Structure 1
Amino acid sequence: MCSLSFYFLLLLGTSIFILGIYFLMIDYTVFIEWELLSLNSTMLVMTLIFDWMSLLFMSFVMYISSLVIYYSIDYMSDESDMNRFIIIVLMFIFSMVLLIISPNLVSILLGWDGLGLVSYCLVIYYQNVKSFSAGMLTALSNRIGDVAILISISWMLNFGGWNYIYYYDFISGSFEMSVITMLIILASMTSSAQIPFSSWLPAAMAAPTPVSALVHSSTLVTAGVYLLIRFSPMLYIYNYGWFLMLIGCLTMFMAGLGANFEFDLKKIIALSTLSQLGLMMGILSMGYSNLAFFHLLCHALFSALLFMCAGSIIHNMKESQDIRFMGSIVKFMPLTSICLNVSSLSLCGMPFLAGFYSKDLILEVVCLEWLNLLIFFLFFLSTGFTASYSFRLFYYSMIGENNFFSSFYFNDNSYFISFGMIGLLIIAVFGGSLLSWLIFPIPYFIILPFYLKYLTVAVVILGSYFGYLMSQMNLFCNLFSLSMFPFVGFNGSMWFMPFLSTNFLIFFPLILGPYSVSSFDYGWGEMFGGQGLYSFFVYLIDYFQNWYDFGFSTYLLTFIFWMFILVMLYFI
């Protein structure tokens, strides 16, 4: 079933990519409507939109998914029921495709809920306490977004339909659409793990690594950004961009800073994904929706490759994820090391790799825009942190000392894992330039002063040097993490967000549950609900039964006696 799914998704993704390029060249859109139900003036319509954006994104999702499934043949070889794992992954892909091609809030909710439910199944796949806790945090965080979309669906009932594309010109400026836009922003923040909903994304690393490569590159976490790209006209009409920019920049800064103090290999890559999501939100808030979509596609390529390389290392090191127990891996796994370094350089914005074409353009646009000093500072400092944790990861895993156990034996001999990495390596190198030529046929030409033009390069170099100092742990003094433990603990725990999220999303609701049940379900609900009605009717039945058993004969004799007296009086 794995091979069949791989070939099917690869062929389908290639066909859709060619179709998307064709639609992009001729500027063509197909809009399909299927009326399911009509009630008074409201129609429940299943709608599908096929334009260059949805087709290109769908093709990337299928291409990455096909390589992830092929990669899983070896990585999940010890799994007792491999078909079950593949079916769950295919359900996840189907939910994402449904969300991508839906311009209708009802069908978007179906895809959104499918992503949430299937992601819960994948996060708890290994069935231990840590996975259960991470799955619950992921599910409850994303349920906030579900509720926001449900409220927006009920609000849009006033307009007679849920195809938001129809209402851009008719209700722009209305109070109702401003509330719906706020709810969509809230839903996107939960799915894309923006502050204060960031803690679920590193926690979701409890899932198998092939799932992480899929979820954190092109599916669940990018669903919120994609939804906001579709709603971007409303975003600019109601001037919500300032809020989104502040949230995105803070998320990018927090994730980049936290990754420098993290030692879990998968969590470092998860925080890098979170940092890039904040970058997408920031540039989207400025009005550059096509540029945000361009970076979304480029990020999907090198992020999936990063997770695949991390999975290869973890698989060979017998499920050890601590980078302090790695070192000199380049001598034993050269192919994995090459792929990891290429994807890290692409993440940092190395010229002529996929990340360079989108990230460098975004930073030059930031230099060109009218922004305050705080936002400008956060954008470039977060870029420096990206280079910092990438170099720190490279130092710990590739060129450090041999810190793994002597019993470890690892190499690059796995055909399936190597094929999956090479398939993404090629497109991570050439995909950025190809996409830039397609999406921007007339290239951006941004003229900046010399010091701004080279500010990106300077920030990356300084960030790499900072990462080297962090890896040596002698920044300012020896044993930096111990001498400044409060600072390291605060930033390494994502500004204490996991503790707050766990308390407010899991602990307090579970504590309040028994009180609400005892006061509502077992209290007022029982008194005025079914149990109260039952007691009332039992009382009435008992009352009338008693009246019948003990009082009816007396009343009957009394009635007969008085009737006899009245008859006698009448005749007398």
Structure 2
Amino acid sequence: MLKSLSICLISFLFLMGLALTSVLLGFYFISQDWVIFIEWEILALNSSSIVMTFLFDWMSLIFMGFVMFISSLVIFYSREYMGGDININRFILLVLMFVLSMMFLIISPNLVSILLGWDGLGLVSYLLVIYYQNVKSYNAGMLTALSNRVGDVALLLAIAWMFNFGSWNFIYYLEAGKESLEMGVIGLLVVLAAMTKSAQIPFSSWLPAAMAAPTPVSALVHSSTLVTAGVYLLIRFNILLVGSWLGELLLLMAGLTMFMAGLGANFEFDLKKIIALSTLSQLGLMMSILAMGFPALAFFHLLTHALFKALLFMCAGAIIHNMKDSQDVRFMGGLVKQMPLTSACFNLSNLALCGAPFLAGFYSKDLILEIVSLSYVNNLSFILYFFSTGLTVSYSLRLVYFAMSGDFFNLSLHPLNDEGWTMLRGMMTLSLMAILGGSLLSWVLFPTPSMICLPAHLKMLVLTVSLLGGWVGYELAKFALNYKLVSLKWSFLCSFLGSMWFLPFISTYGVSNWPLMMGTSTLKSFDQGWSEFCGGQGVFSWFKEWSMFNQGWQNNDLKTYLVGFFMWVIILLVLTFL
């Protein structure tokens, strides 16, 4: 126990120190407009050399700092949350491997070294999703791993295609080769890889399934590491998206993802899945503004979202921990009386998610929506942006109504309390950042104020949509009985909207029934059938027989063969004359 506490504390202090250093260096780099490349020659043989390149600019340093800051607080939080686990050391080491993979991804300007971090994230996320060893976790882990393999294959193909340029350092070729066919193919493959990792339609089903992992992992994965890897990669490749059909495709897919996740969260009753769908909605927002050609805005929202989403998951973890592992919001209620400090942090993070004025989410979300109003964008995308914003406020207020208000729906004798001080310290630190982080980052990233001139109705549209969405969410939660009756009457529609447009079904049964069965029959009839008989095994058997025959002749025992030969001749002659 003492050993696990020491590992947690050492990891926490080490990562926190690195995080503060990295963020301060990032702020200094942005003020000086510095970019540093560091090349490490691993091996030199004749004229060939294997070189590892690291890119340090303001973006990579600030993002690294945020990842390490959140992961240090998650490890500190895990001391109490995972305190009863006998394998807590293994858990902490897996989290550290996860963070290390993310570091590789962030500081690599090279597709091969990006693949190291990319595949590291995929492998360690699988190990963490199946951490609680049961059938549900295994299924969720396989869905997560196999969905991400599609993106890994796309990245491998992009690496192969980069041979056309003579080097894998993509950062040197983006500007010069953006009009070429080769870079167009690489852009398509990278967009596909990013869509799988950031769970855009049609690869969205793995993200809520990954909630089978322990809650501290969810706090880390869904805020700043795994799901943001795709967004970060596309921020680096953003030049290829602007003014191309790739950008338009990504804008449509991201807008639909944002809309689908917002609708699904309003039908969900699992606390962690509601927050997971909220992450999916915010990822759609980041991807869509990125597709419109505003990478700095996408990065800004990426950072602010990391702060309040990690806090939201930590608060959800504290509630689940106290509810003795119950995640259904219908069994909650009146938590504000039983757990006031946790409820305060929970409501604070929810308000930041909704974009309440002067919290972290407000500075990025409001700016994004005003830039959308100011830009040339089609009606469908415009409606998707603002309708999804209303849905965000709707499911947030619905969640607050179910969990916080009314009476406690469980037993009269219950264990709810706010005495988990280790978890509370981590949550209160992140609460401070959820209040101050948005303004601090906006001052640093956008030091020159932008003039956004909009007519009054567009300026007030964000506020109107938010208030309207909040009212709808409150009414939906309040009239829960009528809601159930409506859901019975329109069962197919409610099932369709509440199950992410049947994407989990399509990703599992849709893939396993027909394509995988066809793959099995093809394997048995070709790879293990005719292909084996006429190919490798057949050739092997033929060579084996002739080599054995030849080896017999090589033994040089001529007398034995002659005797045998004459005996066969005599037998044949006798049989002929008889």
Report the TM-score, using the length of structure 2 for normalisation. Answer: 0.92
State the match for 1:380 in structure 2: 386
Give the corresponding residue for 1:75: 81
Q: Any conservation in 2 of the 1:258–1:494 contact (CA below 8 Å)? A: yes
Residue 170 (structure 2) aligned to one of 144, 151, 164: 164
Task: String of CA shifts for 1:161-190, please: whole Å, max 9, x gaps.
Answer: 100111123322110000000000000000
1:222 positional shift? 0.3
Structure 1 pair 323–3 and aligned structure 2 pair: CA distance change class (3 A): same
Q: Residue in 1 aligned with 2:58?
A: 52
Change (3 A) 1:312 1:474: closer
1:306 to 294, 309, 312: 312
2:247 is equivalent to residue 257 of structure 1: no
| More displaced 10-residue stretch of structure 1: 503-512 or 62-71 | 503-512
TM-superposed CA distance for 1:506, in Å, is 4.7
**Residue equivalent to 1:389:** 395
Structure 1 residues without counterparts, runs of 5 or longer: 558-572
The count of residues paired between Structure 1 and Structure 2 equals 557
Find out whether 1:451 has 2:457 as its counterpart.
yes
Q: Does structure 1 retain, via aligned residues, the 8 Å contact 2:476–2:483?
A: no
Among candidates 21, 28, 33, match of residue 39 of structure 2:
33
* Residue number among 145, 148, 158 corresponding to 1:152 in the alignment: 158
* C-alpha spacing 1:275/1:529, structure 2 compared with 1 (3 Å): same
Letter in 2 for 1:483: K
Contact 2:154 2:190 in 1 (8 A): yes
The 8 Å contact of residues 50 and 101 in structure 1, kept in 2 or not, is answered as yes
1:556 shift after superposition: 9.6
One-letter amino acid matched to 1:46: M
RMSD: 2.1
1:181 corresponds to which residue? Answer: 187
SS at match of 2:242: helix
Structure 2 CA distance for aligned equivalents of residues 49 and 307 of structure 1: 31
2:120 is equivalent to residue 114 of structure 1: yes
Which residue number corresponds to residue 15 of structure 2?
A: 9
Change (3 A) 1:40 1:194: farther
Cα displacement (A) at 1:529? 4.6
- How big is each residue's C-alpha offset from its partner over 1:416-474, in whole Å with a ceiling of 9 and x where there is no partner? 11011001000000000000000000122211111110111111110011001110236
Deviations 1:49-72 (A, max 9, x none): 000000000000000000000000
Local SS of the residue matching 1:371? coil
2:489 to 483, 490, 494: 483
- 1:365 aligned to 349, 366, 371, which one? 371
| SS of the residue 2:203 aligns to | coil
2:130 to 124, 138, 155: 124
For residue 406 of structure 1, the aligned residue among 412, 418, 423 is 412
- Tell me which residue corresponds to 2:292: 286
Q: Which moved more, 1:207-216 or 1:443-452?
A: 443-452
SS of residue matched to 2:241? helix
**More displaced stretch, 64-73 vs 161-170:** 161-170
Conserved? CA contact 2:315–2:345, under 8 Å:
yes
Answer yes or no: is 1:214 the counterpart of 2:214: no
**1:84 maps onto 2:123 in alignment:** no
SS at match of 2:308: helix
| Cα separation, 2, equivalents of 1:62 and 1:251 | 28
CA distance in 1, matches of 2:140, 2:364: 32
Q: Aligned partners of 1:402, 1:189: CA distance in 2, in Å? A: 41
> How much has 1:45 moved relative to structure 2?
2.7
Deviations 1:256-311 (A, max 9, x none): 01000000000000000000000001111111100000000000000000000000
Q: Distance in 2 between matches of 1:549 and 1:429?
A: 99
526-535 or 105-114, larger mean C-alpha shift: 526-535
Per-residue CA distance 1:495-518 (angstroms, 9 max, x = gap): 000000113455556534542432
1:235 aligns with 2:241: yes
Question: Residue 20 of structure 2 contacts residue 65 of structure 2 at CA under 8 Å; is this kept in 1?
Answer: yes
Matches within 5 A, 1:195-214: 195-214=201-220
Indicate how the Cα distance of structure 1 residues 161 and 467 shifts in structure 2: closer, same or farther if over 3 A, else same.
Answer: same
Matches within 5 A, 1:375-524: 375-473=381-479, 479-506=485-512, 508=514, 510-512=516-518, 514-524=520-530
Letter in 1 for 2:206: W
How far apart are 1:403 and its partner, in Å? 1.2
C-alpha separation in 1, matches of 2:185 and 2:481: 48
Contact 1:42–1:160 (8 Å) recurs in 2: no
1:172–1:237 CA contact under 8 A, matched in 2: no
CA distance in 2, matches of 1:517, 1:47: 41
- Match among 209, 223, 226 for residue 229 of structure 2: 223
1:259-278 correspondence to structure 2 within 5 Å: 259-278=265-284
Secondary structure of the structure 2 residue equivalent to 1:411 = coil
1:64 and 2:64 aligned: no
SS for the counterpart of 2:51 is strand
Q: Distance in 2 between matches of 1:546 and 1:117?
A: 52
**Contact 2:268 2:274 survives alignment (8 Å):** yes
Aligned-pair distance for 1:486? Answer: 1.5
Which of 340, 345, 369 aligns to 1:339? It is 345
Identity %: 61
Q: Which residue of 2 aligns with 1:565?
A: none
Equivalence for 1:568? none
